[in-house]
Chain A
Amino acid sequence: MTPGTTGADEPGAAPGPARRTVLAAGGGLALGAAVAGGAVALTRDGDATTPVADSGAAVPFHGAHQAGIATAVQDRLHFAAFDVTTDDREKLVKLLKEWTRAAERMTAGREVGEGAYGGLPEAPPDDTGEALGLRPSRLTLTIGFGPSLFDGRFGLKDRRPGDLVELPRFPGDNLDPARSGGDLCVQACADDPQVAVHAIRNLARIGFGTVAVRWSQLGFGKTSSTTPNAQTPRNLFGFKDGTRNVSGSDAAALDRHVWVGPAEAAGGASWLAGGSYLVARRIRMNVETWDRTPLAEQEDIFGRDKKEGAAVGKAKEHDEPFLKALKPDSHVRLAHPDSNGGATLLRRGYSFTDGTDGLGRLDAGLFFLAYQKDVRAGFVRVQTALAKSDALNEYIQHVGSAVFAVPPGVRDADDWWGRALFS
Chain B
Amino acid sequence: MRAVRTTAVTALAGAAVLAAVTGCTAKSDAKADADGITVTAKDDSCELSKKEFPAGHVTLNVENRGSKVTEVYVLYPDDRIVTERENIGPGTKATLTAEIKAGSYAIVCKPGMTGSGIRQAVTLTGGASAPKRSAEMDAAVASYRQYVQAQADATLPKVKVFTDAVRAGDLEAAKKAYASSRIGWERTEPVAESFGDIDPKVDVREDGLEEGQDPAKDWTGWHRLEKALWQDGKITAREKQLADLLDEDLADWVKRVGKAEITPTSMANGAKELLDEVATGKVTGEEERYSHTDLVDFKANVEGAQMSFDLLKPVASKNDPALVADLDKQFAALNALLDKYRADKTGYDFTSYDKVGKEQRKELSDGVNALAEPLSKLAAAVVK
Contacts and interface: CB of A to CB of B under 8 A. Distances in A.
B352 interface: no
Contact of A209 (B24, B29, B91, B371): B371
Contacts of B41: none
Contacts of B326: 209
B27 A209 contact: no
B370 A118 contact: no
B265 A122 contact: yes
Contacts of B248: none
B370 A121 contact: no
A124 B24 CA distance: 15
A209 B330 contact: yes
B92 A212 contact: no
B133 interface: no
Interface string B74-115: 000000000000000001100001000000000000000000
Interface in B23-76: 24, 27-29, 31
B125 interface: no
A208 B379 contact: no
Dominant SS among interface residues on chain B: helix
Nearest to A204: B369
Interface string A178-214: 1000000000000000000000000001001110100
Contact of A120 (B369, B370, B380): B380
B366 interface: yes
Contacts of B369: 208-209, 212
A124 B374 CA distance: 10
Nearest to B95: A117
Contact of B370 (A27, A122, A178, A209): A209
Interface in B334-384: 358, 362, 366, 369-374, 376-377, 379-380, 382-384
Contacts of B358: 178
B183 interface: no
Contact of B384 (A120, A205, A209): A120
A49 to B, nearest CB: 42
A174 interface: no
A119 interface: yes
A27 B92 CA distance: 9
B21 interface: yes
A118 B92 contact: no
A120 B366 contact: no
Contacts of B379: 122-123
B370 A85 contact: yes
B134 to A, nearest CB: 16
Contact of B21 (A85, A119, A121): A121
Contact of A121 (B24, B366, B376, B382): B24
A122 B380 contact: yes
A416 to B, nearest CB: 19
A205 B377 contact: no
B32 to A, nearest CB: 10
A168 interface: no
A3 interface: no
30 contacts: A26-B92, A27-B91, A83-B366, A85-B370, A118-B29, A118-B31, A120-B384, A121-B21, A121-B24, A121-B28, A121-B97, A122-B21, A122-B24, A122-B269, A122-B379, A122-B383, A123-B377, A123-B380, A124-B376, A178-B358, A208-B372, A208-B374, A209-B326, A209-B330, A209-B373, A209-B374, A212-B362, A212-B366, A212-B369, A212-B370
Given A122-B269, A122-B379, 14 more contacts: A27-B91, A83-B366, A118-B27, A118-B29, A120-B24, A120-B380, A120-B384, A121-B24, A122-B265, A122-B380, A124-B376, A209-B330, A209-B371, A212-B362
The 10 A-B pairs of least Cβ separation, nearest first, read A123-B380, A209-B370, A212-B366, A208-B373, A122-B379, A208-B369, A120-B380, A122-B380, A124-B376, A122-B383
Interface of B: 21, 24, 27-29, 31, 91-92, 97, 265, 268-269, 326, 330, 358, 362, 366, 369-374, 376-377, 379-380, 382-384
Interface of A: 26-27, 83, 85, 118-124, 178, 205, 208-210, 212
